[in-house]
Structure 1
Amino acid sequence: MDNNYKGMAVGVFELDNLVACFVALDAASKAANVRIQSVERNRLKSGACVKMRGSVSDVNAAMEVALEAAKPLGKVVSHTVIASPSEDTEIALKMTINK
């Protein structure tokens, strides 16, 4: 996978259920031109955090669809879109948390 996301917006959502995360990221990737950067398990019982990249409009559209798809399957813990991540933020976004 190409890890060059320079100039791309980032959308991040966290759900309390890993299955809901996969359903949501599938819906997001079908709804808009986004690339899934990573899926990381969170410290909740069985949840995960998904990072997706693309243009601001594509990430916003994908986020909306992802959260709607996740609603029947799990709880949305948090979500955000960063239109233009700083270089320091990009470094942090590349880190993977394995817990």
Structure 2
Amino acid sequence: MAEKYNGMAVGVFELDNLVACFVALDAASKAANVKIQSVERNRLKSGACVKIRGSVSDVNAAMEVALETAKPLGEVVSHTILASPTEDTETALAMTINK
């Protein structure tokens, strides 16, 4: 699965509620050419962690829109962008999906 994302930047954000995640993802995917890699629900809380992929500029644009859209709906727990993940990082990212 990681192979199809080779060379792509990754944006990761975590919100405190699942509804805010879906609204943020919708806005992000409309704002830039990104692919949704995963939405991982936090089993202990009501939030989720989201991974989006694309070019560095598209991920930056999508993340900016996603985070702004999410602010009135919930708390942004954390967020980051990796412009060029290493092979080991790609493996670790793939390992977290559906866990």
TM (norm. structure 2) is 0.93
Residues 2 and 90 of structure 2 are in contact (CA less than 8 Å); yes or no, is this contact kept in structure 1?
Answer: no
Runs of at least 5 residues in structure 1 that lack an aligned partner in the other structure: none
Q: How many residues align?
A: 98
Percent identity for Structure 1 against Structure 2: 84
Higher helix proportion (structure 1 or 2): 2
Map 1:16-95; keep pairs closer than 5 Å. 16-95=16-95
State the superposition RMSD in angstroms.
1.7
- Hey, which bits of structure 1, 4+ residues long, moved more than 6 A? none
Runs of at least 5 residues in structure 2 that lack an aligned partner in the other structure: none
Structure 1 residues 44 and 66, CA, compared in 2 at 3 Å: closer, same or farther? farther
